[in-house]
Structure 1
Amino acid sequence: MELSDQHPSKKPGLGALVKSILAAAIGVQTNKNRERDFTTGSPLAFIIGGFIFTALFIASIAIIVGFVTSSQ
């Protein structure tokens, strides 16, 4: 079986990209999805997505902490 038969060359869509980033962030990425990401996905898309996720996560925590500390 050729490599192209094992892993289609179709790039993952936005939904698959977001799902992979979220799964990787919380540590539940499956081997199948990880292999798909490494063989078909663009590293730049995952890096940018990771930075966006991290920024949103930090902003969310800061907002929650702000609400909690201001209400006391």
Structure 2
Amino acid sequence: MEDPAEHKPPTFWQMLHSVLAAAFGVQTGKNRARDFTHGKPAHFIALGTAFTLVFILVLIGLVQLAMHLTAR
């Protein structure tokens, strides 16, 4: 018997988990199948773009911090 939860769209946390897994290049086949069958591409694109922006800002902040600490 099929689980009715398998036919629901992924939650925000499931999508975030998928985006993070994609960033590291690891994803289970079950989650990938769920994302492709029940997820909306626009949601993943928006979340992926937001993640990428935050990642870039964190890297810029770390570089600025390193430059500040070595300039002493």
Same-fold call, TM cutoff 0.5 = yes
Letter in 1 for 2:62: I
Q: For the residues of structure 1 that align with 2:23 and 2:39, how far apart are their CA atoms?
A: 17
Gaps of 5+ in 2: none
Letter in 2 for 1:32: K
Is 1:12 equivalent to 2:15 in the alignment?
no
Letter in 1 for 2:21: A
TM-score norm. by structure 1 comes to: 0.87
Q: How many residues align?
A: 69
Is 1:46 equivalent to 2:68 in the alignment?
no
Letter in 2 for 1:53: F
CA apart distance, 1:6 = 8.2
Report the equivalent of 1:58. Answer: 56
Q: For the residues of structure 2 that align with 1:32 and 1:20, how far apart are their CA atoms?
A: 11
CA apart distance, 1:9 = 2.3
Gaps of 5+ in 1: none
Q: For the residues of structure 2 that align with 1:6 and 1:26, how far apart are their CA atoms?
A: 29
SS of equivalent residue, structure 1 residue 71: helix
